Every structure is written in C-alpha cells, then in structure tokens.
Chains A and B, each alone.
Chain A
C-alpha cells in the first residue's frame, strides 16, 4: 500500500511534465491523455520493479516519449496543431498578432524532426538538464547541445524569413 501511495505521488509530481511532453509530440490533448493512461498502466504493472530514485523523472519521461512515438507509428500520421488558423474575431489586433507569431514559431518547430522537438521542449519548456535529456533520448550530451542549437537557429531563420528580415545572404541575392 505504501508503495502504491509513493508511486501515485511520484506520478502526481511529474504529471504536468509528462503531459506537456506527450502534448508536444502528439499535438492532441485527448491523445496525450491516452498516452499518459498507458504510462500509468505500465507504471502500475511494474510498481514492484520501479525504484523511486532521483532518476525517476527521467524514467517517466522516457516511458512517455516511447509511448507517444509508438502511437505516432501506430496511427502512421503526422500530428498537427490547428492553432495558427484560429478565428481572430473578437480578439484585439495586438493579441492576434502575438498569437499569430507564436503560432508560426510552433509551426516551424513542428517542421523539425521529433528528436529536435523533444530536446527543445525538454530544455526550454521544462528546463531539464542536458544530462537527463541525453538519457531520455539516448543521445550523447554533445549531440543534444548541437540539436538544441540547430533547432533555435532554424526557428530564428524561419521567423526572419516570414517577417521578411533579410539576412546577409538574401541581401546579396537581392543586389544581384
């Protein structure tokens, strides 16, 4: 019984992190909840084997990610976020512009491979250490750093293109 309470508390403490990770991969609240349901079932099934240590968050993140990837494979479709096409009626212009820009950033993020999205999410949204991310995505720390850097660079580049902020390369092309 104590084990059950400890497990429930551990899951409760990490529920938001797991939910956000599932949401970032699946882009659907219902699917994210389904994924979490499966993770809970797995944890309940393995409750005698799970050791509540400092690495438990990494374990939960790993299980959640694997479950989400299985769901993506199973459904064989790309999850998309409809946020950018929301109807802006009834919202003030500034808010719409901010919402649009933010939606564009999300859109650019979606264009990247799942690994980039997950690394970006874990580091920027959850503030998880590189070491823990490295264990979760089974990639060396140096590679994780590179992936994060490239992801940010891609987002910035795409954002500049959409906002017509010319880079030196595009300026040269225009001059020619």
Chain B
C-alpha cells in the first residue's frame, strides 16, 4: 500500500459528504450574472472609460498650460534680469569713458595742482565731455555669465 493510499484510508468514505459536496457545487453553479446586469455593467464600463479619457485629457491640457506659463515666467524673469545687467554694464562703461576722457583732457592741469593747493582752495571746474564722448572707441564687451 502506497503512502497516499494509506493516508486516504485514514479518512472514511462517507457517501453523504459526496452528496453534500455535489449539492454545494450545484448551488454555486446556479449563481449567474443576469443579462440586464451585464448590459448595465458593460455600458457603465464604456461611459466610465469615456469619462476617464475626458478627465485625463483635461488634466493633460491643464498641465501643459501650467508648464507653458511657468516657462514663460522663467524666460521673462531671466530676460528682464539680463536687460538690467546690460543696462548696468552700459552705465558703468559710460562712467568709465567719462573718467577716461577727463583724465586725457586735463592731464596737463594736474601738474600745477600742488601749487594751487598751496595758494588757493579754488579748483577750476572740468569741461563737460559732450562732443568727445561719442567719438571714443567702445571697449570690448565682457560676456555676461548668469
């Protein structure tokens, strides 16, 4: 006698059990999904899927618009900052030109300054660089780094 047969023999054969098991299986087999219920579930599944698709479309578009707005804002801010820096650079360059112009134009006037300082506390005002400023060569631009 094999091990399996020995194990089987330890459980007595009971005809009632088989009958009841059969009854139980038959009862389970009676459970069915009604046709109208199936139609309802099917139609709901289709419409639900449609709603899901519509919702996902709305979410996608909203996300895209939001992303565009954020990108636009970032670009605008960056551009504004760059313009500001360029303006600062131009102003600084112009100021440098002025200083350079004064120094070139009045370098000879610096020599008697010691005497003037000893004799008087009056300083002659320097000429305004109106004509000469335009003619000056611009210095090479330094590339901006952000």
Q: Which residue, A155, A156, A166, has most C-beta atoms of chain B within 10 A?
A: A156
Point out the residues of chain B lying under 8 angstroms from A104, CB to CB. 20
Report whether B14 and A106 are in contact in the complex, using a CB–CB cutoff of 8 Å: no
Report whether A159 and B20 are in contact in the complex, using a CB–CB cutoff of 8 Å: yes
Which of B11, B17, B28, B44 contacts A121, CB < 8 Å? Answer: B28
Chain A interfacial residues counted at CB < 8 A? 39
SS of A interface (majority):
helix
Kindly state whether residue B25 has any CB partner on chain A within 8 Å.
yes
Chain B min CB distance to A174 (Å): 15
Chain A min CB distance to B42 (Å): 6
Q: A11–B52 Cα gap in the complex (Å)?
A: 21
Q: What per-residue 1/0 map shows which CB atoms of B23-63 lie under 8 Å from chain A? A: 11101110111000110011011101100100000000000
Report whether A20 and B31 are in contact in the complex, using a CB–CB cutoff of 8 Å: yes
Report whether B21 and A155 are in contact in the complex, using a CB–CB cutoff of 8 Å: yes
Report whether A102 and B31 are in contact in the complex, using a CB–CB cutoff of 8 Å: no
Query: Chain A: residues with CB nearer than 8 A to chain B?
Result: 8, 11-12, 15-16, 18-20, 23-24, 33, 36-37, 40-41, 43-45, 98, 101-102, 104-106, 121, 124-125, 153, 155-157, 159-160, 163, 165-169
Query: Chain B: residues with CB nearer than 8 A to chain A?
Result: 7, 9-12, 14, 16-17, 20-21, 23-25, 27-29, 31-33, 37-38, 41-42, 44-46, 48-49, 52
